[in-house]
Amino acid sequence: MKKYMFHRIALLFALFFACVPVMQAEESEEASFDAKEIIFEHVLDNYGWEVPFSHSNRISLPIIVRDKNGDWSVFGSHRVMHGENYKGFYIAPDGDFKGKVVARDEAGNEYRPLDLSITKNVAALFITAILLCVCFIPMARWYRKHPNGAPRKWFGFMELIFDMLYNDLIKPVLGADARRYSPYLLTVFFFIFFINILGLMVIFPAGANLSGNISITMVLALFTFLIVNLTGTKHYWKDLFWPEVPMWMKCPVPLMPVIEIFGALTKPVALMIRLFANMLGGHLIVLVLISLIFIFGSMGAAVLTGTTVISVFFSLFMMLLDVLISFIQAYVFTILSTIFISLARVRGEESHEQTQIKEKNEIV
Amino acid sequence: MELFTPDFGLVFWMFLVFVILFVILAKYAWPAIMKSVDERADLIDKGVTYAQEAKSQLEHATDNARVLINEAQQKQLEILREAAQMKTQIIEEARKAATVEAKKIIDAANVSIELARKESERQFRQQVSDFALQIAEKLVRKELSGDKQQSELVDKLLSDIENKN
């Protein structure tokens, strides 16, 4: 086995070095290197998925749009990829909808149709979801087959993370509610963790910047917000609208209720922005470091070599850091969701006791 | 600015995919894993307490065994002592009973000897008186001359007999 492994690695290296001259040739064809465009193209969503080691070839993904007349159109993204027009749909080269599929109405105005395309990010979403099912459903089956068994290898590793979340975070924070909320929290954690890690792998089945996309983090934060507010107890709502503060702070001018409600609304926004910004930042830094090679590439061989070495070293360091951040951000999102849920699950007696303890402490 | 504006298509798909993923995992994956992990933790806890109990019980058991052996040895000694006591007691009692029995036998023997003696004396007296009467008869037949001499003779004979006894 080890011998074959060595062969495979050698083959991979050979392929890589074979590709280098091709890439250089492509680069020399493009006269100017627009770092900003390249970086944003990698960070943002696309209608096609790049084939490894080729910039211009894309895997065609289905575009699903509804025009103003209410007619649905489904076609492969390769039909509009290089500025072509298909049934009146084309990708806007500039303007407000730059890079998106647009169409023109009868008056000739450009408008954006209802777009439910399977873009790169949506395809990556499907892949992640399938991967999660493939990981955890066999794991559950293994547990059913081996009651009280301790899993080894891959399942053992997954159980390590599972155990860290379930026994060290969800159970201590939520107590009796742990069983009820842990399916959501575990799904959120592993979903974010998988999309983060897959986002770091640059070639085809992975490599979509999902967690650095605000649509994704917005939906995740929205789910946490909905769960927190739809399963909140009476006391949570009472604390929101009629908190236990002196009367003048809430009666004529609802100062405290406004602050409380504002706090409840900023919580999911903070969740959304934190995950989005952290993951996007990691991707941007690596992309900028790699772009530096091409920017300095025109300044001669010595500068190119120096920048290459430094950039590769730093981007490797950043990638390793991103692996850590991938885990930490998924964990932080889960921790905060757990805490927000537990804060919304306050019981009357408990909160009363807590206030009593607080009062005692203040007196002491 | 595209970076900060959510895209409707992606939000729609994300919502759908996440809901479906959550339903699938919440139905087929998490409950089984949670249940198994909880049960195994309980089992391990139980096992640990059981092992600790067993260990302490084992330690107790050796102590108990030692105590039991000591008790048994003491009991053995007591039993032996009791047995020895009982032995001496029984011997003593037997001896007492034997002396009492022997005394009874001796007494009975004495009584029977006395009776026999009295009987023989009585018979003897009868015989003597018979003899005396026979002698007297003979004497009477032989000579009935002097009464004095006769009675003296009778007396003499009687005292002779008596002296002989």
How high is the pLDDT of residue B159? 85
Residues with Cβ < 8 Å from A38, sequence gap 6 or more? Answer: A287, A291
- pLDDT tens for B29-59 read 888 888 888 888 889 999 999 999 999 999 9
Judge residue A49's burial from the number of C-beta atoms within 10 Å of its C-beta, 0-12 exposed, 13-18 middle, 19 or more buried: buried
Residues with Cβ < 8 Å from A219, sequence gap 6 or more? Answer: B11, B14, B15, B18
Query: How many beta-carbon pairs below 8 A join chains A and B?
Result: 122
Contact state of B36 with A167 under an 8 Å Cβ cutoff: no
Q: How many CA atoms lie within 13 A of B34 on its CB side?
A: 22
- pLDDT tens for A283-319 read 888 888 888 888 887 787 888 888 888 888 998 998 8
Contact state of A133 with B32 under an 8 Å Cβ cutoff: no
- In chain A, what residues touch B41 (CB-CB under 8 Å)? 167
Instruction: Name the E strands within chain A.
Output: 49-50, 58-59, 62-66, 72-76, 90-91, 101-104, 110-111, 114-115
How high is the pLDDT of residue B48? 94
Contact state of A40 with B34 under an 8 Å Cβ cutoff: no
Contact state of B36 with A187 under an 8 Å Cβ cutoff: no
> Residue A357 — pLDDT band, cuts 50, 70, 90?
low
The secondary structure of A139-181 as a DSSP string is HHHHHHHSTT----HHHHHHHHHHHHHIIIIIHHHHGGGHHHH
Does any CB of chain B come closer than 8 Å to the CB of residue A121? yes
How high is the pLDDT of residue A10? 54
Contact state of A132 with B21 under an 8 Å Cβ cutoff: yes
Q: Tokens in use for A223?
A: 């789910």
Residue A13 has pLDDT above 80, yes or no: no
Amino acid at A1: M
Q: Which of the two residues, A267 and A357, has the higher pLDDT score?
A: A267
Instruction: Name the E strands within B18-113.
Output: none
- In chain A, what residues touch B28 (CB-CB under 8 Å)? 137, 140
Residue A190 has pLDDT above 90, yes or no: yes
Q: How many CA atoms lie within 13 A of B67 on its CB side?
A: 6
- Cβ-nearest to B14 among A98, A186, A215: A215
Interface of B with A (CB under 8 A): 2-15, 17-18, 20-22, 24-26, 28-37, 39-41, 43
Q: Residue-wise over A122-156: b if at least 16 C-beta within 10 A, else e?
A: bbbbebbbebbbebbbebbebbeeeeeeebeeebe
How high is the pLDDT of residue A220? 92
Mean pLDDT over the full length of chain A: 80
Identify the DSSP state of A248.
G
- pLDDT tens for A57-75 read 788 888 888 888 778 888 8
Q: Tokens in use for A260?
A: 């409380």
Q: How far is CA A129 from CA A195, A236, B7, B23, in A?
A: 9, 33, 20, 12
Probe site for chain B from A148, A171, A190, A209 (most B CB atoms < 10 A)? A148
Q: What is the mean pLDDT of residues A129-136?
A: 91
Contact state of A133 with B25 under an 8 Å Cβ cutoff: yes
How high is the pLDDT of residue A244? 76
Residue A18 has pLDDT above 70, yes or no: no
> Residue A184 — pLDDT band, cuts 50, 70, 90?
very high
| A28-32, A118-122, A179-183, B23-27: least confidently modelled range | A28-32
- In chain A, what residues touch B14 (CB-CB under 8 Å)? 125, 215-216, 219
B-contacting residues of A 268-327, CB under 8 Å? 280
- In chain B, what residues touch A139 (CB-CB under 8 Å)? 29, 33
Q: Give the total residue count for chain B.
A: 165
Confirm if B23 and A126 have CB atoms less than 8 A apart: no
How far, in Å, CA of A12 to CA of B27, rounded? 41
Probe site for chain B from A43, A174, A214, A273 (most B CB atoms < 10 A)? A214
| Closest chain A CA to residue B2 | A44
How high is the pLDDT of residue A330? 92
- pLDDT tens for A230-257 read 888 888 888 787 777 777 777 777 788 8
How far, in Å, CA of A240 to CA of A351, rounded? 14
Q: How many CA atoms lie within 13 A of A157 on its CB side?
A: 4
Contact state of A159 with B10 under an 8 Å Cβ cutoff: no
> What Rg do the C-alpha atoms of chain B give, in angstroms?
62
**Percentage of residues of chain A with pLDDT beyond 70:** 86
Nearest to A175 by CA among A183, A184, A167: A167
Residue A204 has pLDDT above 70, yes or no: yes
Contact state of B21 with A43 under an 8 Å Cβ cutoff: no
- Cβ-nearest to B33 among A43, A99, A162: A162
Q: How many CA atoms lie within 13 A of B100 on its CB side?
A: 6
> Residue A27 — pLDDT band, cuts 50, 70, 90?
very low
Q: What is the mean pLDDT of residues A132-159?
A: 87
Q: pLDDT under 70 in chain B at which residues?
A: 1, 142-146, 165
**Percentage of residues of chain A with pLDDT beyond 90:** 17
Contact state of B36 with A148 under an 8 Å Cβ cutoff: yes
Sign of CA dihedral A219, A222, A228, A234: negative
How far, in Å, CA of A35 to CA of B85, rounded? 116
SS3 A65: strand
- In chain B, what residues touch A195 (CB-CB under 8 Å)? none
How far, in Å, CA of B95 to CA of B91, rounded? 6
- In chain B, what residues touch A184 (CB-CB under 8 Å)? 22, 26
Residue ranges of the domains in chain B?
A: 29-164
Contact state of A159 with B15 under an 8 Å Cβ cutoff: no
How high is the pLDDT of residue A349? 56
How far, in Å, CA of B72 to CA of A126, rounded? 79
How high is the pLDDT of residue A335? 92
- In chain A, what residues touch B24 (CB-CB under 8 Å)? 133, 137
